Amino acid sequence: MPVHRPGSVRPRRFLPAGLLLAALSLVLTVPASAAPTTATTSTDATAPARGSAHMGMGVVAHDGQGGVPAGTRAVQTEGVDVSGHQGDVAWQTLWNSGVRWAYTKATEGTYYRNPYFAQQYNGSYDVGMIRGAYHFATPDTTGGAAQADYFADHGGGWSKDGRTLPGVLDIEWNPYGDACYGKTQSAMVTWIRDFLNRYKARTGRDAVVYTATSWWTQCTGDYAGFAAANPLWIARYASTVGTLPAGWSYFTMWQYTSSGPTVGDHDKFNGALDRVVALANG
Residues forming the active site: 81, 170, 172
* Rounded distance between C-alpha atoms, residue 278 and residue 264, angstroms: 26
Q: Is 87 exposed, middle or buried, given 0-12, 13-18 or 19+ CB atoms closer than 10 A?
A: exposed
Cβ neighbours of residue 114 under 8 Å, at least 6 residues apart? 83, 84, 104, 105, 106, 107, 120, 155
Q: How far is CA 214 from CA 16, 72, 136, 244, in A?
A: 66, 25, 18, 9
Using DSSP, state whether 85 is helix, strand or coil. helix
The whole-angstrom distance between residue 150's C-alpha and the CA centroid of its chain comes to 13
Q: Which helix (H) or strand (E) holds 192?
A: helix 185-203
With CA atoms as reference, report the closest residue to 82 among 112, 60, 115: 115
With beta carbons less than 8 A apart as the criterion, state whether 107 and 151 touch. Answer: yes
- Amino acid in position 135: H
* Rounded distance between C-alpha atoms, residue 137 and residue 183, angstroms: 13
The DSSP secondary-structure symbol of 159 reads -
